[in-house]
Amino acid sequence: MYAALGIHRCMPHSHGSQGCCSYHRSHLTRHHKEPAMATTSSFTEGASVFGGLSNMTQALKNIFSIYEPDIVAVHTTCLSEVIGDDIPMMIKKSQEDGTIPPGKHVIHTNTPSFTGSHVTGFANMVRSTLRYLAENTGTPRDQLNILPGYVDPADMREIKRLAGLMGVNAVVLPDTSNVLDTAQTGTYEMYPKGGATVDQIRSTGDSIATLALGHFASLPAATELENKCNVPSVPLDLPFGLGPTDAFIDALRQYGAADVPEQIEEERGRLVDLMGDLHQYFFEKRVAVCGDPDHVIALVQFLVELDMKPAYVFTGTPGQHFERRIAEILKDHAPNAIIKQNADMFELHQLMKREPVDLLIGNTYGKYIARAENVPLVRFGFPILDRAGHRCFPAAGYMGAMRLVEKMSDALLDKKDRECDEEWFELVQ
H helix or E strand, kind and range, residue 149: none
Q: What is the CA radius of gyration of the chain?
A: 22
d(CA 16, CA 19): 8
Q: Which residues of 279-311 are buried (b: 16+ CB within 10 A; e: fewer)?
A: eebbeebbbbbbbbbbbbbbbbbbbbbbebbbb
Closest CA to 396 of 169, 194, 242: 242
Q: Give me the catalytic one of 21, 72, 74, 82.
A: 82
H helix or E strand, kind and range, residue 417: helix 397-419
Count CB neighbours of 277 within 10 A. Answer: 11
d(CA 260, CA 253): 7
H helix or E strand, kind and range, residue 3: helix 2-5
290 a catalytic residue:
no
**Residue 299: HSE in the Cβ half-sphere, 13 Å Cα cutoff:** 28
Beta-strand relationship, 71-76 and 39-40: unpaired
DSSP letters for 18-78: HHHHHHHHHHHHHHHTS----EE----HHHHHH-SHHHHHHHHHHIIIII--SEEEEEE-H
d(CA 3, CA 92): 23
Beta-strand relationship, 209-213 and 10-15: unpaired
**Residue 275: HSE in the Cβ half-sphere, 13 Å Cα cutoff:** 22
Burial of 427 (C-beta count, 10 Å sphere; 0-12/13-18/19+) = exposed
Q: Give me the catalytic one of 10, 49, 72, 78.
A: 78
The DSSP output letter for 131 is H
d(CA 132, CA 273): 46
d(CA 104, CA 9): 11
| Residue 28 near residue 14, CB atoms below 8 Å | no
21 a catalytic residue:
no
Report, as residue numbers or ranges, the catalytic residues. 78, 82
